[in-house]
Amino acid sequence: MGTCLGRLMGEEPTWGSQYKHNVMFLCNHNSCRSQMAEGWLRSLRGDASVGVASSGIVGGTAVKAGAIMVMDEVGVDITYQTSDAMAKYKPEDFDVVISCCGCGEKLKGESEAWMKQRVFEDWNLDDPPAIDPGDFSAYRRVRDETKAKVEELLLKLK
């Protein structure tokens, strides 16, 4: 799986051999933090040759409405992104793997290859749906923290 067809028919591939670097954002469910990280990287990469995908240890859930809403507030559209299972991808297709939620501990055994890529970071971001008091403040805080981390990552990759 050296290239991908993108997430929607006709869409440019989001990652693959045509990019100098390929980043995988991992999370438990691929429904919030990893979705925001993917959206930020797509939005901020400019002409940098950086492909991006996101997935979950458990995939197939839905992208959280709160994540979509707070990203839309800053002009980043993630409505088309899908919640995918990590099993859909191969670790060797990505040279940068970011655990958004501290799930590095869950990447043992057959999933350990994800931790052995050129770059592996565990950002350990808070889980907005679990802690938000109902005003989306936790979503906004994590959105902004994620943006700063993605900006730092892009600087390292350029």
**Beta-bridge mates of residue 85:** 56
C-alpha 48/C-alpha 74 separation (Å) is 21
Known catalytic residues?
27, 101
pLDDT at 11: 61
Other Cβ atoms within 10 Å of 145 Cβ, number: 15
What would the pLDDT profile of 87-133 be if each residue is shown by its tens digit? 999 999 999 999 999 877 788 888 899 999 999 999 999 999 999 99
Instruction: Provide the sign of the torsion angle of the four alpha carbons 112, 12, 40, 128, taken in this order.
Output: negative
3-state secondary structure of 141: helix
- The pLDDT of residue 2 is above 70: no
53-63 in b/e burial notation, b at 16+ Cβ within 10 A?
Answer: bbbbbbbeeeb
- The pLDDT of residue 10 is above 50: no
pTM value is 0.91
